[in-house]
Amino acid sequence: MRDYYINGRQVVGMVDLRSDTFTQPTARMREVMANAPVGDDVFGEDPTVNRLEELAARKVGKEAALFVVSGTMGNLIATLSHTRPGDEVILGAHSHIYGYEVGGLARIGGLMPRLVDDAAGTIRPEQVLAALRDDNIHYPPTSLVCIENSHNMSGGRVTDVAGIQALAAVVHERGLRLHMDGARVFNAAVALGVEVTELTQPVDSVMFCLSKGLSAPVGSILAGDGEFVARARKFRKIVGGGMRQAGVIAAAGVIALEEMVNRLKEDHARAQRLAEGLSHIPGVQVMDSNYQTNILLIDIKGTGLTAGQFVTELNELGVRVLTRSETALRAVVHRHIDDEDVDQVIAAFEKVAAV
């Protein structure tokens, strides 16, 4: 439980489950940010950024890495770096890149999305094969496949190592490249009990966020081989992402990777506890028992209330969640949610459902 500012007004004791983007930097992060050695990163001379990029590359088993402002920027730069304007990109109809990144794929990249059904949280090799078009003068060339792990809109579902390896084999056999939107890939690795490199090794590039469950205030990482990252660095400059004394924020990213990954299992355990508590409330159902990581999708259709009405009532009880559809909510557990907060959320759902 924390105090939040909503429309400029301080709200005391609010349990905010809207997103793990609401995590605050740790005291250690604030300390290193204040004291970080810095330089001009556009010239490659910020020692703290360089340290973060080297650490990040090692963490995900890639040759090189690039510090970017956001996950959206990282995904955009990845698509630009792997393709040419007019290419076709295969990706999920429910993916974050397609649905929640303001159409940058098309507007800035000049790329054509070829959609497959990823409602279950993954893309299978046979879906890619079915989406590939013949070599025909009428069709755009396909150059890239994008996956998401963990998968936001399916409730944090994960694709396991075997699934990624099988997909990568098909993608690479066809001469295509594979990019992973791994905004929460460390959540996926922790949930599966594997090293993150097992999930990232088969892909050609991966983007992951420092500013969600890992609690850094700003920033994401894009990683791949050296040639890819060299191209990506230029595209970062094109889209306005070249930063100067960026070590001030990169310092928090170092702490995020060194100190915040292992504790993600606490968020997953509390998400499971929350899901189990909600499942006993009449009219409330955690959808498809899909609580593998820290994201829950919650169906409240049985209560007779719309998602908007339910959210309004929860707000009055000091609990914030997001609407996912007319009858579904999304709740995301993070570092600032403790056991007492979980109890408060369950009690709030019980009260609203009983109205």
Task: Give residue-wise pLDDT tens across range 275-327.
Answer: 999 999 999 999 875 568 999 999 999 999 999 999 999 999 999 999 999 99
Q: Is it the case that residue 8 has pLDDT exceeding 70?
A: no
Is the C-alpha dihedral spanning 85, 87, 88, 90 positive or negative? negative
Rounded Cα gap, residues 58 and 60, in angstroms: 6
Q: Is it the case that residue 92 has pLDDT exceeding 50?
A: yes
List the beta bridge partners of residue 331. Answer: 296
Rounded Cα gap, residues 206 and 225, in angstroms: 10
CB 218 within 8 A of CB 52: no
Task: Look up tokens 């709740």; give the residue.
Answer: 331
Rounded Cα gap, residues 174 and 177, in angstroms: 9
Is the C-alpha dihedral spanning 280, 285, 286, 287 positive or negative? positive
Q: Is it the case that residue 347 has pLDDT exceeding 60?
A: yes
For residue 26, give the amino acid letter. T
Q: pLDDT at position 168, please? A: 98
CB atoms within 10 A of CB 100: 12
* Chain centre distance of CA 122: 14
Task: Give residue-wise pLDDT tens across range 181-210.
Answer: 999 999 999 999 999 999 999 999 999 999
Rounded Cα gap, residues 45 and 55, in angstroms: 16
pLDDT band at 229 (very low <50, low <70, confident <90, very high): very high
CB 87 within 8 A of CB 141: yes
For the chain, the average pLDDT equals 95
Q: Is it the case that residue 120 has pLDDT exceeding 60?
A: yes
**What are the structural domains, with CATH classification, of the chain?**
2-24+262-353 (3.90.1150.10), 27-259 (3.40.640.10)
Q: pLDDT at position 47, please? A: 98
Closest CA to 296 of 279, 315, 319, 313: 279
Task: Give residue-wise pLDDT tens across range 58-86.
Answer: 999 999 999 999 999 999 999 999 999 99
- 3 vs 259, residue with greater confidence: 259
Q: Provide DSSP, 256-280.
A: HHHHSSTTHHHHHHHHHHHHHHHTT
Task: Give residue-wise pLDDT tens across range 149-182.
Answer: 999 999 999 999 999 999 999 999 999 999 999 9
Rounded Cα gap, residues 256 and 259, in angstroms: 6
Q: Is it the case that residue 10 has pLDDT exceeding 50?
A: no
Tell me phi and psi for residue 331, to 5 degrees: -130, 135
Rounded Cα gap, residues 306 and 290, in angstroms: 22
Q: pLDDT at position 355, please? A: 79
Overall average pLDDT of the 103-118 stretch? 97
Q: pLDDT at position 31, please? A: 98
